[in-house]
Amino acid sequence: MDNLIKDIDIISAEEAQACDFKTTADENTGKTKKLYIESYGCAMNFSDSEIVASIMKENGFDTTSDFNQADVIFLNTCSIREKAEQTVRKRLSDFNRAKKSRPDMTIGVLGCMAERLKDKLLEEEKIVDVVVGPDAYRDLPNLVSAAEDGNKGVNTFLSREETYADIAPVRLNSNGVTAFISIMRGCDNMCSFCVVPFTRGRERSRDPHSIVAEAQDLFDKGYKEVTLLGQNVDSYKWSPEENNKARLEKKEGAVSTVVNFANLLEMVAQVSPLLRIRFSTSHPKDITDEVLYTMKKYDNICKYIHLPVQSGNSRVLELMNRTYDREWYLDRVRAIRDILGDECGISSDMITGFCTETEEEHQDTLSIMDIVQYDFSYMFFYSERPGTLAAKKFEDDIPLEIKKRRLAEVITKQSELSHARNKMDLGKEQLILVEGISKKSDQEYRGRNSANKVVIIPAGDYKIGDYVLVKIIDCTPATLFGEIITVNPAIG
């Protein structure tokens, strides 16, 4: 069972969870100093690292993929799961060993873990020189300079306004095809198991004009897909009255009315029919029919929704402070199926063994999986995080072996559902955006269909960034396999 859980942990971390990490690539433009960034956690963290790289680039830094060559090392961290914090601590030990031979090296911790553990990292363990929260990245050059002078650089101020809307991100490790665009920051939901409201601050939406401009710039540079990011994209709301009206009125083409997420989706979709649009993450309490009808209207808005359920039981959902119950969630799923059809991909997050969860309530999670028929899910057993509402109010009273057993049952169920959903695609023609070479063979390429499923196709007369119409001929629970019909078919 432990091996099964270990394996699925790695799989479920690939896109949005706390086990994943990315490092900087080499860039040499002749600048005098080198920056190395290692990023852990969700897509928001990876997007933030691109903002950090842009700020540091403007202040004399190129990037390096070898931390031993770096003048400054940043770990952009996550506090969602204990495993991520343990991994970061191990990496800090590695970096501090390197620093013994390079005492002028500056080591910094950024992001959610920095926000949560600033005093311990600086004063008790003395393993970092710079600690910076997710709203203070503009201050990084000053803080690094202070650290170089022998002082500790600290800024964990949480802002109600900062969105970094004016900063053009440096696309780290980019395939030149897909990119993230952050549309909002922070979170106003207070899910009892989650540290994000405490580490990323209050929710605020970014000026839509700057979002559309970033999408247009990416398309002009050859990118074919953007993912709009937010802790809860469906609560995106921008208005000139509430969001710096005076500053916005100076911009040519500025938006002058209230913009909700459905409006923003449409604005970005209109950049070009050749630019695919994805978004993450949706909250079941906020996703509207207006968003679903906008998705239906535009072929280039991908038919895929990440809609975390966390638990299939209403009592547990109430303890989690998710602000919806089982029936509300199922109503939203019915709306997705009615408006977008069965081919729309739906994925979820699920937590097993939350405080006081009974065996019958665990069965409710398994049953909601059968009803919804998720394409894939990110699955975890409950890990208490210090400072959360659950840690303060509830006892973590489910034994670890029960948590793991329930998780294994959820994993087994999801594997069966994923395989069944993938079999439904057999024989169908699907449009794939080619994103890279397959991990298993350089004679194959990989892409994704509209429902966010990975499709493997044989190498042929096409390149990364092309659209390819394929026929699905085989599948596993995790992957589709296709044969090429047409390269770059007419779109739009």
Q: Tokens 């359920």 belong to which residue?
A: 309
**pTM to 2 decimal places:** 0.86
Q: Is 191 annotated as a binding residue?
A: yes
Q: Is 355 annotated as a binding residue?
A: no
Residue 306 lies in a domain: yes
Residue 316 lies in a domain: yes
> How confident is the model at residue 20, as a pLDDT?
57
CATH at 213:
3.80.30.20
Distance CA 399, CA 121 (A): 30
Q: Is 344 annotated as a binding residue?
A: no
Residue 95 lies in a domain: yes
Distance CA 289, CA 262 (A): 9
Residue 194 and residue 137 share a domain: no
Residue 65 lies in a domain: yes
Residue 235 and residue 206 share a domain: yes
Q: Is 302 annotated as a binding residue?
A: no
CATH at 138:
3.40.50.12160
Q: Is 53 exposed, middle or buried (0-12, 13-18, 19+ CB in 10 A)?
A: buried
Domain-terminating residue out of 404, 423, 442: 423
79 and 116 Cβ atoms separated by less than 8 Å:
yes
Contacts of residue 173, Cβ cutoff 8 Å, sequence gap at least 6? 22, 23, 24, 25
> How confident is the model at residue 14, as a pLDDT?
31
Q: What is the pLDDT along the chain (492 residues), one digit of tens a residue?
A: 444 443 333 233 333 333 455 666 777 777 789 999 988 877 888 888 999 999 999 999 999 989 999 999 999 887 666 666 778 888 888 898 888 888 889 999 998 777 777 777 776 557 889 999 888 999 999 999 998 888 888 888 888 888 898 888 888 878 899 999 999 999 999 999 998 888 788 899 999 999 999 999 999 999 999 999 999 999 999 988 776 544 444 455 555 589 999 999 999 999 999 999 999 999 999 999 999 999 999 999 999 999 999 999 999 999 999 999 999 999 999 999 999 999 999 999 999 999 999 999 999 999 999 999 999 999 999 999 888 999 999 999 999 999 999 999 999 999 999 999 999 999 999 999 999 999 889 899 999 999 999 999 999 999 999 999 999 999 999 999 999 999 989 886
Distance CA 258, CA 114 (A): 34
Residue 241 and residue 140 share a domain: no
- Closest Cα to residue 468, out of 305, 444, 279, 343? 444
Distance CA 312, CA 333 (A): 13
Residue 303 lies in a domain: yes
Residue 283 and residue 232 share a domain: yes
> How confident is the model at residue 78, as a pLDDT?
76
Burial 250-263 (b: 16+ CB within 10 A, else e): eeeeebeeebbbbb
449 and 430 Cβ atoms separated by less than 8 Å:
yes
CATH at 482:
2.40.50.140
Residue 334 and residue 265 share a domain: yes
Residue 167 lies in a domain: no
Residue 222 and residue 93 share a domain: no
Q: Is 42 annotated as a binding residue?
A: yes
Residue 372 and residue 266 share a domain: yes
Count structural domains, the chain: 3
Residue 402 lies in a domain: yes
Q: Chain centroid to CA 468: how far?
A: 26
Residue 412 and residue 459 share a domain: no
Residue 84 and residue 112 share a domain: yes
Residue 477 lies in a domain: yes
Distance CA 35, CA 107 (A): 10
Domain-terminating residue out of 423, 444, 470: 423
Residue 289 and residue 217 share a domain: yes
Distance CA 412, CA 160 (A): 42
Residue 479 belongs to domain spanning: 429-487
Q: Is 19 annotated as a binding residue?
A: no
Residue 436 and residue 412 share a domain: no
Domain-terminating residue out of 403, 423, 443: 423
> How confident is the model at residue 220, as a pLDDT?
97
Q: For residue 364, what are the CA distances in angstroms to 310, 361, 369, 395, 419?
A: 11, 5, 9, 21, 21
Residue 419 and residue 433 share a domain: no
Distance CA 453, CA 435 (A): 12
